[in-house]
Structure 1
Amino acid sequence: MEDDKSLQRIARIAQQLQPAQNNICRDSHETEGGIAGMPTLGVGLPALEIEKAFPQATPATTFPAAVSDYFQLDDLLSEEERALRNRVRGFMEAEVAPVVGKYWERAEFPFELIPKFAALNVSGGTIKGYGCPGMSIFSSALVCADIARVDASCATFMMLHTYLGMLTIGLLASEEQKKTLLPPLARMDHIACWCLTEPDYGSDASSLNTTATKVEGGWLIKGQKRWIGNATFADILVVFARNTQTNQINGFIVRKGAKGLRATKIENKIGLRIVQNADIILDNVLVPDEDRIAHINSFQGTNEVLAVSRVIVAWLPIGIAMGVYDVCLRYLKERKQFGAPLTAFQLNQEKLVRMLGHVQSMWLMGWRLCKLYDAGKMTPGHASLAKTHNTRVAREVCALGRELLGGNGILSDFYVAKAFCDVEPIYTYEGTYEINSLVTGREVTGEASIKPPVSNRKKL
């Protein structure tokens, strides 16, 4: 009898909520009869818009002003560098911030933004000529940091396209290859990706298994690649493979649509969800002779590219941390608890100051790294230390920001939750924290770290 009364009460509530139910989307997994013995009811209300749910706090679709330059580091910039940085910053705040959160939630790429990124004229970075801007390494770093300040996925997309894919061609291709490939990549009519990592070889990249076998008129490429960003839609794939005759690493241009090429999106990532990472299968893909990258004859060829890209990667966590600090300071000023703004609480001020100190130290290390590169004094250890330090402290900045926002710290609407997730893959890619630490450790001690012994035991 009590059960009957409960069902009748639920039915009355459902009738009262009927207008609201028309706006409710049914779960695609809901069965026609609902829970056994219960009527199927769409009880509930549409979620409030974030501005109405939290009227005291502005969501990240309206990105805050940049306020993290406490030590007036802008004084280190030339007028040209400052103008470029401000142009990119204005674009990211006006065009990207309002839409990027939804793409991140859906793990989709915002293709309509590509022409807008192209209009910034930063694709090609440090490459001179061929339609590329020929920026300094420091200007390139500033650009990528300010893209990452609003969205780390977009910064990673640009880094993959410019400082891995395009730069490999710019540094190591023949003149004819540069003339053919670089102009449409600079205009972003074509998009590039960089295919080194394999399922079995991440940190130990030089041990790759993908092979290139010489045949009449070209090469047959066979193997697998994993975690390749941009690969699901890239027009130009820069692929590294082991020459079966010389046992050395060579580079090749593989074009979208090539027979035997298959790229499958990697799902269920917790960070950089906009970046379309893929598993790649190369099933005897025929690459003509003219698409072998002319000057990659060993794994050392990748080091010329990675020297630049690791400088850029060291700046991405700087941008992320800047954005987290900017959002948190605005949020704490706007939102009140216990009759006072959150900025009035001692614990919150301590966390803000710790975050600000990290941003300043990261920026100065990144700036010095660029100066060392320009002077020809940068070593692999310098780049590795900047990458390890900056990603490590950026994780702390994001964690502190997550704490400062309380419950809203788990909502991507306020940026910090998204940044908290996005910094994780950056902590790992382009050399894990541990591997980069060992690179620097080898330089400062003069001792290569001990490798684990190779087991000769047979697998059971």
Structure 2
Amino acid sequence: MKHDVLDLDGQLNEAERSQQLKVREFTERRIKPNIARWFERAEFPLELVPELGELGVLGMHLQGYGCAGRSAVEYGLSALELEAGDSGIRTFVSVQGSLAMTAIHLWGSEDQKQRFLPSMARGELIGCFALTEPSAGSDPSSMSTVAKRTADGWLLNGAKRWIGLASVAKIAVVWARTEGDPEGDGVRGFLVPTDNPGFTATPIEPKLSMRASVQCDVLFENVELPEEALLPGAKGLRGPFSCLNEARYGIMWGAMGAARDAFETALSYASEREPFERPLSSFQLTQQKLVDMMLELQKGQLLALHTGRLKDTGKLRPEQISVGKLNNVREALKICHTARSILGGNGVTLDYSPLRHANNLESVRTYEGTDEVHTLILGQYLTGHSAFRG
């Protein structure tokens, strides 16, 4: 690509480049021709789910149990290409793989892994990840959903909000505080079939963002669970946070996919549009916008690639993930807004992608840790002082 000034593609090995191009072809063929319709209708395309399974991107970073076992960089490149289509589609892959499947893979029993992961990898079984609550979105430590120990298992009560896929999922990974846990009370994870009596998922509508995706309010009213519903390895907030870091990693790549598509759209438009009898791209102010977008796009991609290399060598730290999530989503939003300005009035229509991407990125900027949360994570790393409370 002409705008790959730093030749970042040249930093990829053959397997990485092959994976990227495979997912790019899928996005060009299946997502981009349909996304404006899906977005306008607020429709999540369920027919894509088995196709994404066949593509091998569901839980693709996990080893065994029917998962592809690909590298962190290969997963990141896949997230980038999918979000070049739409954040909602990349979010599905993230919720399914980085959150729900990762929770089972890391913290589940061998029976739970064998039972759920292969069908989830194939896209035959959809999962969701229920952590965020209506009154404590950025503060899981204030969780009020409770699982009480009973003679036969557990009784679950509480509520969650902004839970992706909950109304279409068959299995939910639910995080709750325990009461009467023989191993000591605290935050534990549970596998909850969504057809259990007392489980209710209601899509949040209408939305101005992530319209080709599904987010729900979820209510648990005396949901009875057997003992084997418990994820045995997950104790405390380390369980959900380990999954969140996987999702945050994918986000830093995905945001650059949305930014790249917005930039390419603006560059093409500026080259073809001829106000004042000359190409829009020949004007100094337009060139400044294009160059500024290119710089931040290349820096964001380089940051994601470096982070992926760290992850593949087992050296990635949580604060480094916060650097990528905070920077790349923030800069992707700026790129999309600048791209929209080059399109003029045409940029507010669904004929062009930048404003759709910008709307989606407002959600991406909020979930898996707001700017403020990641700023405080990094502030604590730099100073040694936690500023989350008080």
TM-score interval, smaller chain: over 0.9
Query: 1:67, 1:396 → 2: CA distance?
Result: 21
- For 1:5-404, what aligned pairs fall within 5 Å after superposition? 68-245=3-180, 246-404=184-342
Q: Which has the higher contact order (CA 8 A, sep 6+)?
A: 2
Cα deviation for residue 247 of structure 1 reads 3.2
2:349 maps to which residue?
411
* Structure 1 residues 255-305: Cα deviation after superposition (integer angstroms, max 9, x where no partner): 121100000010122111111100000001111111211111211122222
Note the residue ranges of structure 2 that are not aligned, 5 or more in a row: none
Root mean square deviation, CA, Å: 1.2
Asked whether the 8 Å contact 2:376–2:388 carries over to 1, the reply is no
The percent identity for this pair of structures is 37
Partner SS for 2:166: coil
Distance in 2 separating the partners of 1:183 and 1:67: 40
2: CA distance, partners of 1:258 / 1:450 = 37
Q: Distance in 1 between matches of 2:387 and 2:314?
A: 26
The 3-state SS of whatever aligns with 1:413 is coil
Structure 1 counterpart of 2:331, one-letter code: V
Q: Which of the pair has more CA radius of gyration?
A: 1
1:346–1:358 Cα change, 3 Å: same
1:375 Cα shift? 2.9
Q: Which runs of 5+ in 1 are unaligned?
A: 1-65, 453-460
Write the deviation string for residues 419-457 of structure 1: whole angstroms up to 9, x where unpaired. Answer: 1111111111100001101101111111212623xxxxx
Distance 1:343 1:290 in 2: 62
TM-score (norm 1): 0.82
1:60-118 deviation per Cα after TM superposition (whole angstroms, max 9, x unaligned): xxxxxx65422110111110110110010011001111111111011111112222222
Q: Which consecutive segments of 4 or more residues in structure 1 shift more than 3 A?
A: none
Residues in 2 aligned to 1:374 and 1:450: alpha-carbon distance in whole angstroms: 30
Q: Is the 8 A contact 1:67 1:326 kept in 2?
A: no
Answer yes or no: is the 8 Å Cα contact 2:337–2:355 preserved in 1: no
TM-score, L = length of structure 2? 0.97
Distance 2:98 2:323 in 1: 19
Is this contact kept in 1: 2:101–2:120, CA < 8 A? yes
The one-letter amino acid of 1:242's match is: R
Does the residue aligned with 2:47 lie in a helix, a strand or coil? helix
CA distance in 1, matches of 2:342, 2:368: 30
Aligned length: 387
Conserved in 2, the CA contact under 8 Å of 1:184 and 1:190?
yes
Kept after mapping to 2: 8 A contact 1:68/1:322? no
| Deviations 1:154-185 (CA, angstroms, capped at 9, x unpaired) | 00111011100111111110111100110110
More off after superposition, 160-169 vs 299-308: 299-308
Higher mean C-alpha displacement, 254-263 vs 298-307: 298-307
SS of the residue corresponding to residue 405 of structure 1 reads: helix
8 Å CA contact 2:57–2:93 kept in 1: the answer is no
Residues 100 and 110 of structure 1 are in contact (CA less than 8 Å); yes or no, is this contact kept in structure 2? no
User: Offset of 1:307 from its aligned partner?
Assistant: 2.5
Structure 1 residues 261, 450: closer, same or farther in 2, change over 3 A? Answer: closer
